[in-house]
C-alpha cells in the first residue's frame, strides 16, 4: 500500500509491479524457483519485467514507460525471451521496450531455456496518462456593458479527461484557499473577482491553473456635490461658490457624469463649476458606471447672497428749526433685502450695546441722540452700521435778569440759557412798549421809581420761552446796624467803639473772663426811602457764635415822627415766651419765624428799629491764663430782603484788660429794661 500526498489531497493505491532501484517500475511477481532433478533440466526459465517511468496514482504512469525483460534459468540456461502486445505476433526481446501510448497497454512475455522448457506466458499492464484534464468555465447572469454583470453570476466548471478519467476539480477566488468543485457557484459580491481553477485526473495529472475574471456591479454610482465658498447661515453662501461633483463607484468605475443648471440642457461634467452671481441655483446631476448602472437624478441647491441688506429710517415728530424736533420722535426702521431676506434689525445708542428692533419706538430724551442701526439678512450678511443724529429740544430757554448788576451799576444784563439746542435770540420790552432784540447789556435809568421789564428767549430749535417780567426799582431801603450797651429808643444807644473784657483770678492758676455788662444790644435801622409802601420785607440778623439772642423788640417810626412799639420777643427771660404788639392803628404787621423778622406794608419814609438783646456766652468762662483769650473782634451783620437784597455789618473790636479784683456790673439797668418789656406786654395801647 502506497500513500501519496498530492496538492494537499491524500491518495491511496495498490502497486503490483516491482520497481528498479534506478527508476520506478511495475513488474509481475516471479514464480518460485523450479526444482531440477539430477540428470536433467525439467523447469522453464523465470522472466521478470521491470518498468521504468514516472509513477502516478492508481497504477498509472505519467510519462512513457521503459520496460526491461530479464529471464533467469537455473538449468540449461535461457534460450530466448519473447514478447507480444496482442498474443498473436511474438517478438524476440532484444532490449528495453519504450511504451508511450496513452491508455492501458498489455505486454505479454515468456522465455524458453536451452532444453526447450517454455515458461508459462506472463503479462504486465502498462497504464500511461501524460495529459492533464481540461477544464472550461461558463457563467450566467444579467449582462451589463464592457463585460460587467449587473446581477449575481452563476459559475459552472466543466472538466474532461480522455485517459485515466477525472478525479476532481477545484477552484479559488482571488488566490485564497482551494475549494473542491461540486456544483455551480453563485457569486454575489460586487467587484472584480479572479477565479482560478484546475482539475486532476485519476492518474494524478494536474491541470495548469486556469483563470477567469468575473466582474459584478449591481449598484449605480453615487455622486456627491461638494460646495466651496464662504458659508453663511441657513445654507446660504456669502461669496461665489465652486461646485465639484465627486462620483464614486465601488465596482466598475464611473464612466460619465452629467449635470444641468436649472432648466438648461444636460452637459457632461469635466471639472469644477463656479457660480458668482447672487441668487438660488438648482443643479441636477447623475452618473453612469462602465457596467451601465445609471444613478438616479440628484440635485443640490446653491443659494448665494453676497449683498448686505439696506435699512432706511423714518422719523415722526414735530419739526422745529435747524433739523431739531420740538417733540418726542417716533423712530421706524425699514430694512430691505433682495436676496435671502431680512433676519433681524438692530439698533444702539452707543455703538456697542445693541438692541433687537421689533417695532417703532419713541425717543423722548432731549439733546442730540446718536442712533446706530443695521440689518442682518438670513444668509448672515450684516449691513455696515449706519448712524443718524436725532436732535430733540422740547424745553424752551430760560432768561434771567441780573438785578444785582442793575442795582449796583444801572446796567440791564439779560442772561439766556438753553442746555439743549442753545439760545438763538433774546427779546425785551419796558413797560409794555415794543419788543426789541437784546444784543448786549445797556444802561437804564428807572423812571418814577419802578419800571416793568419783560423778556423772553427763543432757542435754535424754535422753542419760545413764555415772557417773564421783573419790576425794576431804585434803592428801596437804607440799612444801618451797630452794637451798643442800651437798646432803642433809649437816648444812650450810641454805638460801641470797643468791647472790653477783663479777668478775675479764680483759685490757683485760673482766671474767669468778665465784661462790664451782662447784655449787649445789636440795633438795626431800616428806612423805606421810596415814595410808596413796601409790601413785604424781611430782616435777618446774623450774630457771632459767641453771642446768644435773649430777646428783641421792633419799633415803627412813622413819617410824622410817632414811635409805635410793634413787637417783642423774649427768650428765657421771664414767665412768658413773647409779647406781641400788632400795631393795629398802622396797618403794619410784624412776625417772627425763629429765623427772620417779617414786616408788611412798611409806609413810605417810615423806619423800622430792631433791638436784639445778646448774652455773651464766654462771660464767666475759666481760662488758665488771660493770654489764652485770642479774639480781637466780632462782626455782626444783617440781611434785608425787599425787591432786592440789602445788607449791613458792624465790626466790634475786642479789648482785653488786665486782671481786676472785683467785677463791675450793669445788672440793675438790664433788669430794669427787661421788667419794662414785661410791662409792655400787659397793656393794650403800645404807643408812646
Q: Please say if the pLDDT value at position 128 is more than 50.
A: yes
Global pTM value: 0.50
Q: Please say if the pLDDT value at position 574 is more than 50.
A: no
The mean pLDDT value of the chain amounts to 86
CATH class of 477-680: mainly beta
On whether the 2-128 domain is CATH 3.40.710.10, my answer is no
User: By the 8 A CB rule, do 598 and 588 touch?
Assistant: no
- What's the CATH architecture for 134-216? Sandwich (2.60)
Write the pLDDT tens digit of every residue in 203-218.
999 999 999 999 999 8
Of the pLDDT bands very low, low, confident and very high (cuts 50, 70, 90), residue 38 is low
CB-based burial label for 684 (10 Å; 0-12, 13-18, 19+): exposed
Question: Phi and psi at residue 49, in whole multiples of 5°?
Answer: -100, 125
CATH class of 222-304: mainly beta
Q: Please say if the pLDDT value at position 5 is more than 50.
A: no
Write the pLDDT tens digit of every residue in 451-493.
889 999 999 999 999 999 998 877 788 999 999 988 877 555 6
Q: Which of 252-256, 313-317, 433-437, 661-665 has the lowest mean pLDDT?
A: 661-665
CB-based burial label for 432 (10 Å; 0-12, 13-18, 19+): exposed
Q: What is the pLDDT of residue 532?
A: 84
C-alpha cell read off for 35: 526444482
Domain ranges of the chain: 2-128, 134-216, 222-304, 310-392, 398-473, 477-680
Query: Selecting from 3.40.225.10, 1.10.40.60, 2.60.40.10, 3.40.50.620, what CATH number does the domain 398-473 have?
Result: 2.60.40.10
CATH class of 310-392: mainly beta
Q: Whole-angstrom Cα distance, residue 295 to residue 220?
A: 5
User: By the 8 A CB rule, do 348 and 355 touch?
Assistant: yes
Q: What is the pLDDT of residue 660?
A: 78
**Count of all residues that appear for the chain in the document:** 688
C-alpha distance from residue 34 to each of 44, 76, 121, 334 (Å): 7, 12, 16, 135
Q: What is the pLDDT of residue 569?
A: 83
Write the pLDDT tens digit of every residue in 618-674.
999 999 989 899 999 999 999 999 888 889 999 999 998 878 765 554 444 444 444
Overall average pLDDT of the 542-556 stretch: 93
The reply to whether 134-216 shares the fold of 2-128 is yes
Cβ neighbors of 354 (< 8 A, separation 6 or more) are: 346, 347, 348
Q: Please say if the pLDDT value at position 24 is more than 50.
A: no
Give the gyration radius of the chain's Cα atoms. Answer: 73
Of the pLDDT bands very low, low, confident and very high (cuts 50, 70, 90), residue 18 is very low
Amino acid at each position: 500500500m502506497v500513500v501519496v500526498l498530492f496538492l494537499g489531497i491524500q491518495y491511496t493505491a495498490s502497486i503490483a509491479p516491482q520497481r528498479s532501484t534506478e527508476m520506478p517500475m511495475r513488474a509481475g511477481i516471479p514464480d518460485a524457483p523450479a526444482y531440477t532433478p539430477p540428470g536433467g533440466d525439467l523447469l522453464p526459465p523465470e522472466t521478470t519485467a521491470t518498468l521504468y517511468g514516472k509513477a502516478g496514482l492508481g497504477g498509472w504512469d505519467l510519462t512513457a514507460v521503459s520496460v526491461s525483460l530479464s529471464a533467469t534459468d537455473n538449468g540449461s540456461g535461457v534460450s530466448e525471451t519473447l514478447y507480444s502486445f496482442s498474443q498473436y505476433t511474438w517478438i524476440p526481446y532484444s532490449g528495453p521496450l519504450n511504451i508511450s501510448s496513452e491508455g492501458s497497454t498489455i505486454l505479454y512475455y515468456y522465455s524458453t531455456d536451452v532444453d526447450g522448457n517454455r515458461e508459462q506466458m506472463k503479462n504486465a499492464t502498462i497504464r500511461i496518462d501524460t495529459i492533464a484534464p481540461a477544464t472550461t468555465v461558463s457563467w450566467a447572469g444579467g449582462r451589463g456593458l464592457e463585460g460587467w454583470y449587473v446581477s449575481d453570476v452563476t459559475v459552472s466548471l466543466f472538466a474532461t479527461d480522455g485517459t485515466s478519467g477525472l478525479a476532481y476539480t477545484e477552484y479559488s477566488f482571488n488566490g485564497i484557499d482551494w475549494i473542491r468543485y461540486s456544483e455551480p457557484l453563485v457569486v454575489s459580491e460586487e467587484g472584480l473577482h479572479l477565479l482560478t481553477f484546475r482539475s486532476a485526473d485519476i492518474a494524478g495529472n494536474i491541470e495548469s491553473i486556469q483563470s477567469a475574471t468575473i466582474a459584478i456591479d449591481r449598484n449605480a454610482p453615487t455622486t456627491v456635490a461638494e460646495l466651496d465658498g464662504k458659508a453663511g447661515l441657513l445654507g446660504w453662501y456669502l461669496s461665489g461658490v465652486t461646485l465639484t461633483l465627486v462620483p464614486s463607484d465601488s465596482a466598475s468605475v464611473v464612466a460619465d457624469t452629467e449635470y444641468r443648471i436649472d432648466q438648461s440642457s444636460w452637459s457632461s461634467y469635466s471639472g469644477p463649476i463656479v457660480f458668482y452671481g447672487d441668487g438660488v441655483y438648482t443643479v441636477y446631476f447623475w452618473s453612469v458606471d462602465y457596467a451601465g448602472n445609471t444613478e438616479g437624478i440628484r440635485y443640490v441647491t446653491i443659494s448665494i447672497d453676497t449683498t448686505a441688506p439696506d435699512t432706511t429710517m423714518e422719523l415722526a415728530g414735530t419739526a422745529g428749526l435747524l433739523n431739531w424736533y420740538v417733540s418726542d420722535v417716533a423712530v421706524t426702521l425699514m430694512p430691505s433685502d433682495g436676496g435671502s431676506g431680512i433676519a433681524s434689525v438692530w439698533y444702539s445708542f452707543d455703538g456697542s450695546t445693541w438692541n433687537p428692533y421689533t417695532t417703532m419706538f419713541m425717543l423722548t430724551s432731549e439733546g442730540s441722540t446718536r442712533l446706530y442701526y443695521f440689518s442682518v439678512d438670513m444668509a448672515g450678511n450684516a449691513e455696515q452700521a449706519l448712524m443718524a443724529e436725532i436732535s430733540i429740544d422740547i424745553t424752551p430757554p430760560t432768561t434771567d435778569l441780573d438785578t444785582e448788576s442793575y442795582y449796583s451799576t444801572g446796567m440791564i444784563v439779560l442772561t439766556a440759557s438753553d442746555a439743549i439746542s442753545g439760545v438763538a435770540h433774546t427779546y425785551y420790552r419796558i413797560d409794555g412798549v415794543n419788543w426789541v432784540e437784546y444784543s448786549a447789556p445797556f444802561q437804564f435809568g428807572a423812571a418814577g421809581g419802578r419800571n416793568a421789564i419783560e423778556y423772553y428767549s427763543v432757542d435754535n430749535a424754535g422753542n419760545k420761552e413764555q415772557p417773564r417780567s421783573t419790576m425794576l426799582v431804585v434803592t428801596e431801603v437804607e440799612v444801618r446796624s451797630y452794637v451798643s450797651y442800651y437798646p432803642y429808643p433809649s437816648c444812650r444807644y450810641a454805638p460801641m467803639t470797643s468791647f472790653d473784657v477783663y479777668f478775675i483770678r479764680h483759685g490757683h492758676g485760673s482766671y474767669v473772663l468778665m465784661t462790664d455788662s451782662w447784655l449787649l444790644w445789636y440795633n438795626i435801622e431800616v428806612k423805606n426811602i421810596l415814595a410808596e409802601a413796601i409790601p413785604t420785607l424781611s430782616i435777618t440778623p446774623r450774630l457771632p457764635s459767641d453771642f446768644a439772642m435773649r430777646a428783641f423788640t421792633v419799633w415803627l417810626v412813622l413819617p410824622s415822627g410817632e414811635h409805635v412799639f410793634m413787637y417783642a420777643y423774649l427768650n428765657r427771660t421771664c414767665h412768658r415766651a413773647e409779647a406781641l404788639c400788632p400795631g393795629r392803628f398802622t396797618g403794619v404787621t410784624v412776625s417772627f419765624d425763629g429765623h427772620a423778622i417779617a414786616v408788611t406794608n412798611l409806609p413810605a419814609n417810615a423806619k423800622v428799629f430792631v433791638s436784639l438783646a445778646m448774652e455773651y456766652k464766654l462771660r464767666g468762662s475759666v481760662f488758665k491764663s488771660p493770654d489764652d483769650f485770642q479774639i480781637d473782634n466780632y462782626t455782626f451783620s444783617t440781611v434785608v430782603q425787599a425787591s432786592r437784597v440789602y445788607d449791613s455789618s458792624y465790626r466790634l473790636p475786642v479789648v482785653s484788660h488786665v486782671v481786676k479784683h472785683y467785677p463791675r456790673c450793669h445788672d440793675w439797668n438790664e433788669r430794669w429794661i427787661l421788667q419794662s418789656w414785661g410791662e409792655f406786654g400787659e397793656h393794650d395801647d403800645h404807643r408812646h
